[in-house]
Amino acid sequence: MRSASAALLVVAALVVVPVWGCGPGRGVGRRRGPRKLTPLVFKQHVPNVPENTLTASGLTEGRIGRNDSRFKDLVPNYNQDIVFKDEEGTGADRLMTQRCKEKLNTLAISVMNQWPGVRLLVTEGWDEEGYHTPESLHYEGRAVDITTSDRDRSKYGMLARLAVEAGFDWVYYESRAHIHCSVKSESSQAAKYGGCFSGETTVLTSTGLRRNLSDLRIGEKIQAFDPATKQLVFSEILVFLDFDPSQKREFLSITLSSGRTLTVTPSHLLLLDDRTVKYAEKLQIGDFLLVSDPKDGLSREEIVQVRGVWRTGVFAPLTSVGTLVVNDVVASCYASVDSQWVAHWAFLPVRWVAGFWGNSGLRKPEMGVFWYAKMLYVMADFILPSHLHE
C-alpha cells in the first residue's frame, strides 16, 4: 500500500496540478504573454506602494556590516555583462543578496537585447559607508542603482520598465541620473513554502476547547467551513503543511470591525463570502471576510486595518475540508494559488492517503515543510496556468 500511495502522489502531482504551501505572493514576476512595454516616467515607482510595503520589497531587516553574521548572505556578482562602477574601490557594489543577483542578471540580458552594444551599469550596490537614508535597503544588499553603460538618460524610463519585467520587487525612477531597484529579503523568500498562521492564533476544537495552533496534533478535529454544504463543521487535521515554532517571518495582521485580529502570511487565501477567496495581501480596508460568530453562526465582517508585522512561529494545518476557522475568521488551508478548488484538488492524494492511515490516534506534527506541499510548489512553477496567479 505504501508504494502504491507514493506512486499515486507522484502521478497526481504530475497530472493534477500545482500548488504550494504559503508565503508571500506568487505570481510576482510572472508575466502573461507578450505585451507592449511602457517606460516609467520620472519619479514613478512600480508597484505603486511604498518600498517597505509587504507587496513591494518588504520591511527592512537592519544594516549588514562586514563583521555581521548576515554578511555571509551577500554574494558577489561577477557577471561579465554588467559594468560595476565601484566608486568606493572596495568591490562593495558587487555584493548583494541572491535574489538581487538573480534579478540583476536577468535584467542584464534584457538590456543587451533591447539596445545591442549597451550594457547594464551598476552605480551603487551594497552600502557599508552610510551614504543612504537610514532605512535604505542598500545597507542590506537588497538594492541597486542602475543606468545604461552609455549613460543615455533617454533610455532610463525603459530601463526601469525592463527592471520591473526582470522581477525586481520595487523599481523607482528616483533621479534623472539613475533607477533604484530593490528586492524582498531572503528570509521572506524562505517563507514561500509555508507558514500560514502565527502560533498565537486559536481554533475551536470538537471538544469545545479553544487551543493555540502551536498545540494542535494531527488527527484532532477543529472548526472549519465546508464549501460543499456551506456549513460550519469540525474537520480532522490530516497533516501540517508547515510547522516551525522557531521560524521568524513577516505576516499581515488584519483587524476586523469587532476587534478580531488574524495574522497570516501575505499569499494565504481568505474567504470573502461562501464562495469567493482572495490573497491576504490583496485585501483592503472595507473588504468583508467570512467569520464564525459564536451566537449567529456565519456572518461577514468588515476589515478596518491591515499592517505588516514580524512574528515567530509558523503553522499551517491542512484539514479534510480544506478550510479552518482561525480566531473566528474563515480561512483556506491553502496559499499561493488563487483557487480554493484547484488547491483542494491538488491535495486530494494527501486526503486519500490520510484516509488509509485512519484512526492511528493523535500524532505530533513533524517539523518543517511537508514534502508534498514543497513538491507541488516547485511543480507549480512549471505547470500552473498563469490565469490562476495574481
List contacts with Zn ion (CB under 5 A).
145, 180
Q: Within 10 A of 62 (CB to CB), how many other CB atoms are there? A: 11
Locate 383 and state its grid cell: 505547470
Q: Where are the beta strands (DSSP E) in the chain?
A: 45-46, 75-76, 82-84, 95-96, 120-124, 143-148, 170-175, 178-182, 202-204, 210-212, 221-226, 231-256, 261-264, 268-271, 277-279, 288-293, 297-319, 323-326, 329-335, 368-369
Handedness of CA 373, 374, 375, 378 (dihedral sign): positive
Residue whose C-alpha cell is 551577500: 74
Q: How far apart are CA 291 and CA 327, in angstroms?
A: 9
Q: How far apart are CA 304 and CA 287, in angstroms?
A: 9
Q: How far apart are CA 191 and CA 241, in angstroms?
A: 12
DSSP type of residue 25: P
Q: How far apart are CA 4 and CA 14, in angstroms?
A: 15
Q: How far apart are CA 126 and CA 137, in angstroms?
A: 8
Question: In 192-215, which positions are buried (b, 16+ CB within 10 angstroms) versus exposed (e)?
Answer: bbbbbbbbebbbbbeeeeeeebbe
Q: How far apart are CA 380 and CA 390, in angstroms?
A: 14
Q: How far apart are CA 155 and CA 159, in angstroms?
A: 6
